[in-house]
């Protein structure tokens, strides 16, 4: 079952660490959001394969935006 990983804070995407199709383990960092001069890692909540990345480096995101879909 696919799960959507949402932004926990408002900020901008500083770095995307993974790509669509990549296999990830639980707690792997998928991307990093910069907010209020802090870097906040977005981690995989479980192992799986990334089926979608709905943002890109430099994009602004709001709390609750879906960033990644994990199968």
Domains annotated on the chain, with CATH: 3-70 (2.40.50.100)
pLDDT digits (tens, 9 = 90+) for 23-56: 999 999 999 999 999 999 999 999 999 999 999 9
pLDDT band at 19 (very low <50, low <70, confident <90, very high): very high
Predicted local confidence at residue 7, as pLDDT: 97
β 48-53/66-70 pair status: antiparallel
Q: Which residues contact 63 (CB under 8 A, 6 or more apart)?
A: 6, 7, 8, 9, 10
pLDDT at 46: 97
What pLDDT was estimated at residue 49? Answer: 98
**pLDDT of the residue at 57:** 97
Q: Cβ distance 70 to 50 under 8 Å?
A: yes
**Mean pLDDT (the chain, rounded):** 97
């Amino acid at each position: 079952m696919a799960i959507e990983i949402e932004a926990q804070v408002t900020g901008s995407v500083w770095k995307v660490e993974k790509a669509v199709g990549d296999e990830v383990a639980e707690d792997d960092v998928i991307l990093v959001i910069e907010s209020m001069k802090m870097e906040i890692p977005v981690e995989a909540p479980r192992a799986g394969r990334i089926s979608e990345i709905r943002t890109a480096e430099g994009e602004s995101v709001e709390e609750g935006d879906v960033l990644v879909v994990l199968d």
